[in-house]
Amino acid sequence: MALNRNITISEKYSVISVIKSLFKQRREQSIIIILLSIVVSFFEMLSISLLIPALEQILNQSTEMNIRFVSYIKKVYSMINVEYTILTLFIGIALIFIFKAVINITLATLINKEKLWYEVSRRKKVCDIILYSDWVFINGSMKSYMTNIVTNEIEKDRDVYLKTLNLLPMVFLLLVYVILLVLLSFEITVLIFLIIGGVTLILGRLVKNARYNGSKILRQRNLFMKETLASLDGLKNIKSTSKESFVKNLLHERTKYLSQIRYEMNDRMNQITYLHEPANFIPILIIIYISMTYFYVPISVIGIMIYVFLKLSGDLKVIQTEYYRIKFEIPSMNAVDVLIDEGSKNVEKDGDTTIEGFNEKIEFKDVSFGYSDNDVLKNIDLIINKGDKVVFFGPTGVGKSTIVDMILGLIYPKSGELTIDGIPIENIKKGSWHKILSWMGQDPYLFYGTIEENITWGQKDIQREKLDNACRLACCSEFVNKNGFSYDYIIGDRGSKLSGGQKQRLALARVFLEDPEIVILDEPTSHLDMETKNKLLQNIGKFCEDKTLIMITHDIEIPSFIDTMYVFDKWELKKIDNPNNLR
């Protein structure tokens, strides 16, 4: 099953479901974050509460609540043998603020560690899905979709997790601010929350379509990635046919639409941000007027209420902004999980039998294979004995590469049986089988690194003599030591600094260096000139004298060392022994 190419955003995720998932995955860490948040909230309430008697002493005012509160403070100071004075009160307030800062730093560090854990674990999961999922699943899914998830969506996925973690402490702080306001004046607090409720209702309408916009931008990022990758892969063809204008219009249109959605999101964010200023200032004026005119609240209490309200309003602004961003980015979290979930259902199967070598034969017994309902191969019977030199010949799309994919263990027969030395290939451990063979495809895998790194490909402590010999057999020596090349030469992304023929020869050098029992080559000389091709084929023949060789070719000129040829003719596989007699 391939990954759904039309990205569907499920209703699986909401802010609440993200919080539930957080507790499910990291229960202990979540509890610690909550406990620290409660501690921070407690000290926040304590520090603000201590400001009331401090202000009243400065302003020479006194209230009943202040008298009771000061008596509690004096008892605490007495317990620690400290005289209660305005100086010791201020020192106490300062120490509480310092301690609160230390707890906040600890909390922020913990949240940052959780963010790091989440990002690393999610990236590892996505990489594992791509590397260890069934080949049919991976091959049938869009490369651009997976690239977009690895490069873009996983960043948004991390941000959802981080923003959700950051919201938890703020919720507890909001509760503290509400409690403080109620203690200071219940009537004014009710009035404040009527105003805040109205503002929240207005701003809530701005948040309403955040998730829908997030889904749209996810789809557009996928399309943009698909078209960008296609353009980069086909850039030579585009430039050689003067189609730059056509591709430019395509990419510009996608960029414009993608930017428009981002503009709408940022515009909503700006509205939320700037509407908060009057939403803060107007209630403050109302608090001052009503408090002094109707409730005769002391100026010290009014000052504290304004301070608390500003803190509360500021946190509400952050919560609304982050909530909007979370809803906007939740589709990205969903997209990452769709890939992980679907990949987990399509994990590559592996056998239990380890094989140490290739002793007898590869045998296809009445094998058929197809993708969905379309059969590529039907009722194939085929034997490749140890030491055989076999070539598969035929036009594109008849099943040559499919046979090789089955031998490699990437796909399994739909019906019939494929055995290696009598063992069904499904039962063989892939790692042990792949140690015995080496495969070179039409588009060899090369990575950003040196020539030596690409030839050795993870093999360590390779002697220079073996490396030189592999390069000589692959006819690489002709360019590795000339024209500024060397083993340390960086070949660029996917070998972008090399010609097609140079790429093929590097990939062949890798095969020669591995020195396998079975060599599988798919069009190994398609990019080479005739002289280099003939020389390389001679080297392949000598190298494979004591090996089993399987080749795919469109070239009617079959190398002399081939002893068996299989020709695809109208979906039938015909065997030709001693094909060189056809010359």
Q: Greatest CA separation found in the chain?
A: 116
What is the distance between the alpha carbons of residues 379 and 368, in angstroms, rounded to a whole number? 5
Distances 387 to 83, 390, 438, 575 between C-alpha atoms, Å? 97, 9, 15, 17
pLDDT tens sequence across 28-60: 888 888 888 888 888 888 887 777 777 666 666
Domain 361-582: top CATH class: alpha beta
CB contact set of 416 (below 8 Å; sequence gap of 6+): 364, 365, 366, 367, 368, 379, 380
Write out pLDDT tens, residues 98-139: 998 999 899 889 988 888 888 888 888 888 888 888 888 877
Is the CB of residue 268 less than 8 Å from the CB of residue 227?
A: no
At 67 the pLDDT is: 61
Both tokens of residue 81? 């043998």
Q: Alpha-carbon distance 120 to 117, whole Å?
A: 5
Residues in Cβ contact with 58 at an 8 Å cutoff, skipping those fewer than 6 apart: 86
Model pLDDT, residue 425 = 94
Q: Which CATH superfamily is domain 15-26+116-345 in?
A: ABC transporter type 1, transmembrane domain (1.20.1560.10)
Distance, in Å, from the CA atom of 551 to the CA atom of 391, rounded to the nearest integer, reads 5
Is a pLDDT exceeding 90 seen at residue 542? yes
Q: What pLDDT digit, counting tens, does each position of 268-295 carry? A: 767 766 776 676 677 777 777 777 777 7
Q: With 0-12 CB in 10 A as exposed, 13-18 as middle and 19+ as buried, what is 47?
A: middle
Q: What is the pTM of this model?
A: 0.70
CA distance 354 to 26: 38
**Residue 416, pLDDT above cutoff 80:** yes
In the block, tokens 């340390």 appear at: 488
Single-letter residue type at 285? L
Provide the 8-state DSSP code for 490. Answer: B
How many CA atoms, within 13 angstroms, populate the side-chain half-sphere of residue 379? Answer: 2
361-582 has the same fold as 15-26+116-345: no
Of 193, 202, 170, 185, the C-alpha closest to 283 is 193
- Calculate the average pLDDT of the chain: 80
10 pLDDT more than 50:
no
Q: How confident is the model at residue 236 (pLDDT cuts 50, 70, 90)?
A: low
User: Any idea where the domains of the chain sit in the sequence?
Assistant: 15-26+116-345, 361-582
Q: Are the C-beta atoms of 552 and 521 separated by less than 8 Å?
A: yes
Q: What are the structure tokens assigned to 42, written together? A: 């407690």
Residues of 116-140 as b/e, b for ≥16 C-beta within 10 angstroms?
eebbeebbebbeebbeebbebbbee
pLDDT band at 6 (very low <50, low <70, confident <90, very high): very low
Would you state the structure tokens that stand for residue 252, as one six-digit string? 């510009």
pLDDT at 9: 42
